[in-house]
Amino acid sequence: MDRHDGFREFVLARQQALMRTAYLLTGDAHLAEDLLQSVLMKVVRQWHKLSKDGNPEAYTRKALVNQYISWRRRPRPEVPSGDPPERGLSHDDATLDRIVLRQALAKLAPRQRAVIVLRFREDLSEAQTAELLGCSVGTVKSQTHHALARLRAVAPELAHLLSEQEIVEVAR
């Protein structure tokens, strides 16, 4: 037993879920790993406090999203992944949707991308998203609206994904 055992346990249990979020945010496997890695280094530093009276996962998720936005604020050329999709070679509709959405997400501003991931994949409420991003609910609403509009503009072929009633209502 050492003092990092609790941290190890937490990472082993949650790292894959966090990695999926990181991957959605960055769109690149290596960047996602770097992002999560740098956040986990912060978490391990705070572990003593977090494990006692904090919520490690909430802290980690918040740090992950904010670190991602912080990275993207700095000048950095967009580096689309050179890796081919690892799953499924058949170009069925779902595969095409995935490829097009990945490309479209890469064209969003960091906060817009984050709200898409948090609202539509993580299923967070506007208030939860605002809390996580450290902004107002109004900002989340406007970012969501602009993000969806941008997706529709850059990827009109995704209209069938973005025109579902549930999505439209969220964007109002």
13 binds other proteins (CB under 8 A): yes
91 binds other proteins (CB under 8 A): no
3-state secondary structure (DSSP) of residue 152: helix
Q: Nearest Cα to 146, choosing from 100, 104, 98, 112?
A: 112
Answer for the pair 155, 136: CB distance below 8 angstroms, yes or no.
no
Which region, judged by CB under 8 A, interacts with other proteins, from 50-58, 100-108, 127-135, 138-146? 100-108
**From the list 52, 87, 91, 172, which residue makes contact with other proteins (rule: CB under 8 A)?**
87
94 binds other proteins (CB under 8 A): yes
123 binds other proteins (CB under 8 A): yes
2 binds other proteins (CB under 8 A): yes
To other proteins, the closest distance from the beta carbon of 53 in angstroms equals 21
- Residues in the site for other proteins, rule: CB under 8 A? 2, 4, 7-8, 11-13, 15-16, 19-24, 29-30, 32-34, 36-38, 40-41, 43-45, 74, 85-87, 94, 97-98, 101-102, 105, 116-117, 120-121, 123, 160-162, 164, 166-167
